[in-house]
Amino acid sequence: MNITYNSPGVLGRTECSAIPDNGQWVTTYDLTDFQKWDVIGNPKGLDVGYAFSRHVGTNGLTLYANSSSNSEVTIGQWLPYGYGDTLLIFLHSNFTILWISTARPIWYKMTDGASRLILREKPKITALNCMTMLKTANVAVNISTSDGSIQEYCLLDTTRNAAEAWDEIGAHYANETYYRVLGFPRYDNTVR
């Protein structure tokens, strides 16, 4: 036995396109530069190193620095579109996905007393710009009473852009403070 009822329906999908690597994710350093690096105190055998630019969040990555337990680190990040670019106004419906695979980082000291996480090899990075597309329409839904599965549905009117889905973009409904700065999402970071 089935029942049919009318309901608001939502259609959601995410469209993604590749972001070309134009050097925005990694900075190359000459580690033999005595003016910038503590060449005497730093680990030996590396003349050129790589560090993530300000566009890549590195929280959690510091746990693997100088660790002998992991020879490779994988980082997955969801960033607001334009993360790290102070001139770009964040588009609330776009986001950037980064997938990074790299050798474990090593702490290198700079001559000014600061330290940087340095990578021995240029990391492999895949980046996507994604946009969530949400549409809504009224639908007639036919549901099986025995298992609750949808048997069929029929659109009752034309789908329309669900712009209201973005009305509360800055609202907090969970404890997300670790990933937020001044009310804007900073980044969601997974490191293993």
Query: What is the DSSP code (8-state) at residue 55?
Result: T
pLDDT band at 188 (very low <50, low <70, confident <90, very high): very low
pLDDT band at 104 (very low <50, low <70, confident <90, very high): confident
Q: What is the pLDDT of residue 56?
A: 77
Q: What is the pLDDT of residue 192?
A: 40
pLDDT band at 11 (very low <50, low <70, confident <90, very high): confident
Please state the rounded mean pLDDT for residues 7-34: 90
Please list, in sequence order, all residues whose beta carbon lies within 8 angstroms of the beta carbon of residue 164, skipping any fewer than 6 positions away: none
Give the 3-state secondary structure of residue 81: coil
- Asked if 17 and 41 count as a contact pair (C-beta separation under 8 A), the reply is no
**pLDDT above 70 (res 127):** yes
- Asked if 152 and 23 count as a contact pair (C-beta separation under 8 A), the reply is no
Q: What is the pLDDT of residue 170?
A: 56
Please state, in angstroms and rounded to a whole number, the distance separating the CA atoms of residues 78 and 128.
Answer: 10
Would you kindly state where each structural domain of the chain is located, as residue ranges?
10-133+164-191
